[in-house]
């Protein structure tokens, strides 16, 4: 019984680490150009990206060198990892 509880606790800890807001953007494997564009703008963690997404997609698209495809890939990756994106991230920015 203790082994099962220990396994459940380890699984929960892995899941929390997986969706940590402190996770580096570089670990998302977005590609060199979008990762460097975000780093140049001072955005290095998932938490910072999500904070920008709360302002809408345009906030990220205003980062020089970060385009529409990179935004789509970023959102897809974050959702795949279990992150909850803000409602403003679903707006269509042209």
Total count of domains within the chain: 1
Question: CATH number of the domain that 71 lies in?
Answer: 1.10.150.20
Q: Which residue range is the domain that position 14 belongs to? A: 2-90
pLDDT tens for the 94 residues of the chain, in order: 677 777 777 766 666 656 788 899 999 999 999 999 999 999 999 999 999 999 989 999 999 999 999 999 999 999 998 888 888 777 655 4
- Report the predicted TM-score, pTM, of the whole model to 2 decimal places: 0.76
Q: How far apart are the first and last CA of the chain?
A: 55
């Amino acid at each position: 019984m203790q082994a099962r509880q220990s396994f459940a606790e380890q699984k929960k800890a892995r899941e929390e680490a997986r969706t940590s807001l402190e996770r580096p953007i570089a670990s998302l494997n977005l590609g060199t150009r979008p990762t460097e564009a975000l780093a140049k703008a001072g955005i290095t963690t998932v938490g910072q990206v999500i904070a920008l997404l709360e302002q809408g997609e345009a906030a990220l698209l205003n980062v020089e060198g970060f385009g529409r495809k990179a935004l789509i890939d970023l959102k897809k990756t974050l959702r795949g990892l279990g992150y909850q994106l803000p409602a403003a991230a679903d707006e269509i920015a042209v």
